[in-house]
Amino acid sequence: MSSRRWFWPTISGIDAERVLMERGVDCSFLARPSSSVPGDFTLSVRRNGEVTHIKIQNSGDFYDLYGGEKFATLSELVQYYMEKQGQLKEKHGDVIELKYPLNCDGPTTERWFHGHLSGRDAEKLILDRGKNGSFLVRESQSKPGDFVLSVRTDDKVTHVMIRCTPDNKYDVGGGEKFNTLAELIEHYKKNPMVETSGTVVHLKQPFNATRINASGIHSRVKQLQSENGPNSFGKAGFWEEFESLQQQEFKHLYSRNEGSKPENRNKNRYKNILPFDDTRVKLKNVDASVAGADYINANYISWKTDDASETGGESVGKVYIATQGCLPSTVPDFWQMVWQENCRVIVMTTKETERLKNKCARYWPDPGESKEYGQVVVRNLVESSTPHYTLREFLVTMEGSDEERKAFHYHFTAWPDHGVPSDPGCVLNFLHEVNKRQDELQRELPNNQPPGAILVHCSAGIGRTGTFIVIDMILDQLKRYGLDCEIDIQRTIQMVRSQRSGMVQTEAQYKFVYLAVQHHIETITERIKAEQKSLQSGREYTNIRYSGSDIGNLGTTLSSTMTLFPQSPTPVVLRPDAKKPQRAAAGGFGQTDSLRKHSGQFWPGAPATAAASKNMTAEFLLVRQAQTGPSYM
CA–CA separation, 491 and 245 (whole Å): 8
CA–CA separation, 1 and 411 (whole Å): 39
Alpha carbon separation from 504 to 470, 471, 508 (Å, rounded): 8, 10, 9
Residues 6+ apart with CB under 8 A from 628: none
| Residue-level length of the chain | 633
Q: How many CB atoms lie within 10 A of CB 609?
A: 15
Crossing angle for the helix pair 463-481 and 489-497, to the nearest 10 degrees? 120
Its sign, for the CA torsion 269, 271, 273, 275, is: positive
CA–CA separation, 160 and 417 (whole Å): 51
417 has binding-site annotation:
yes
Phi first, then psi, for residue 302 (nearest 5°) are -150, 165
> Which helix (DSSP H) or strand (DSSP E) does residue 319 occupy?
strand 315-323
Give start and end residues of each alpha helix (H) in 118-248.
Answer: 119-129, 181-190, 217-227, 237-247
Give start and end residues of each alpha helix (H) in 192-318.
Answer: 217-227, 237-247, 257-260, 308-311
The three-state (H, E, C) secondary structure of 442-502, written as one string: HHHCCCCCCCCCEEEECCCCCHHHHHHHHHHHHHHHHHHHCCCCEEEHHHHHHHHHCCCCC
In eight-state DSSP terms, residue 40 is -
CA–CA separation, 278 and 264 (whole Å): 16
**Which of 350, 507, 517, 504 has its CA nearest to residue 425?**
517
277 has binding-site annotation:
no
Its sign, for the CA torsion 13, 15, 21, 24, is: negative
Its sign, for the CA torsion 121, 123, 128, 133, is: positive
Conformation bin of residue 443: beta by default, left when phi > 0, alpha when psi is -120 to 50: alpha
Q: Is 164 considered catalytic here? A: no
Phi first, then psi, for residue 163 (nearest 5°) are -90, 140
State whether residue 403 is helix, strand or coil. Answer: coil
Catalytic residue among 326, 360, 458, 485: 458
Q: How many CB atoms lie within 10 A of CB 362?
A: 12
CA–CA separation, 170 and 178 (whole Å): 5
**Which of 515, 520, 512 has its CA nearest to residue 467?**
512
Catalytic residues: 458
Binding site: what residues are annotated?
A: 417, 505
Binding site for substrate: what residues are annotated?
A: 417, 505
